[in-house]
Structure 1
């Protein structure tokens, strides 16, 4: 196995780390797997008889339960939430599978999963950590590794002249 050195820059901060080349296919597979989970979940909702109202009214708990129940009993809010969840999951999933606007997509995936997390806080089987937090950790890892550049369209998009002129574009891609 070959050992590589990479440096990630975020504003004034830099992080240099070593990794072996075997991490690249695993990063690619993890990105595609997370994308597939989102695409499948979105299409399952789209093609099924799903609405967020049942979850919002009956599946929430904790300090924000009242707010979520209010949303679940408001038909206009439910229509908006249903569209955001269904199409958000489908579009995020497609973007992750293609490796396109990967960090941007990972941010919104994390935001969606965080909303699911706080809707049921505290978790049933562990006072703090459940699958939602693990998903968010995976999203952070994929973003830090620049997963969209590994057999993804971000590697091509970043080289386009008009994209290179956009300051900060690298934070949305990769």
Structure 2
């Protein structure tokens, strides 16, 4: 049996699209885990980036170390002034948790992308200029990935994106998708 060129061209793109959807979904979950892991480690002091004694639950500040000692460049004074403040700690941790959960679950991808890009660009600007490149680092790469994830509706595959989008309030407010 031979397949006509017309049939072949309509079948292959759908199969390729299906595979691409899974690649985006896996990248979405992986990036979500990066955010969630940072939240969990800073909250409980799991001994990776944060020791248990310095955990948020034990009175440590999730922002103090980096903002006090990891900042450099033209905005260092601005960021150092926020180091350890309750406002910065709560905003940072809420961002990590919210972005991480949204990505892992595949819901609120547009909000997660905007919030994630903002958080990542702020983190990038806190340590200007990157040591190994004139301007590019992983924060900007992750920010670009977040935009791509939202644009391709990555939450619909291996996630709750379609279910989320069907909720009446979300359907009436597409920016929540």
* Corresponding position of 2:75: 64
Instruction: Check whether the contact 2:107–2:161 (CA below 8 A) recurs between aligned residues.
Output: yes
Bigger drift between 152-161 and 55-64 goes to 152-161
| Correspondence for 2:123 among 116, 122, 130 | 116
Say yes or no: does 1:171 pair with 2:175: yes
Say yes or no: does 1:140 pair with 2:147: yes
Structure 1 consecutive aligned stretches of length 4 or more whose deviation exceeds 6 Å: none
Structure exhibiting the larger radius of gyration computed from Cα positions: 2
1:45-64 superposed matches below 5 A:
45-48=42-45, 49-50=54-55, 51=61, 52-64=63-75
The unaligned stretches of length 5 or more in structure 2 are: 1-10, 46-53, 56-60
Instruction: Check whether the contact 1:43–1:86 (CA below 8 A) recurs between aligned residues.
Output: no
Q: CA 1:60–1:140 in 2, change beyond 3 Å: closer, same or farther?
A: same
Instruction: Check whether the contact 2:73–2:129 (CA below 8 A) recurs between aligned residues.
Output: yes
* SS of equivalent residue, structure 2 residue 166: coil
**Structure that is richer in strand per residue:** 1
So what's the TM-score if we normalise by structure 1? 0.80
The unaligned stretches of length 5 or more in structure 1 are: 5-18
Q: CA deviation at 1:67?
A: 0.9
Q: CA deviation at 1:162?
A: 4.0
Q: CA deviation at 1:42?
A: 0.4
What CA distance in whole angstroms lies between the structure 2 residues aligned with 1:26 and 1:54?
Answer: 35
* SS of equivalent residue, structure 2 residue 81: helix
Instruction: Check whether the contact 1:95–1:102 (CA below 8 A) recurs between aligned residues.
Output: yes
Q: CA deviation at 1:131?
A: 0.7
Instruction: Check whether the contact 1:2–1:21 (CA below 8 A) recurs between aligned residues.
Output: no
Q: CA 1:99–1:61 in 2, change beyond 3 Å: closer, same or farther?
A: same
What CA distance in whole angstroms lies between the structure 2 residues aligned with 1:162 and 1:67?
Answer: 39
* Residue correspondences, number: 152
**Structure that is richer in helix per residue:** 2
Q: CA deviation at 1:103?
A: 1.4
What CA distance in whole angstroms lies between the structure 2 residues aligned with 1:170 and 1:147?
Answer: 15
Q: CA 1:154–1:116 in 2, change beyond 3 Å: closer, same or farther?
A: same
So what's the TM-score if we normalise by structure 2? 0.78
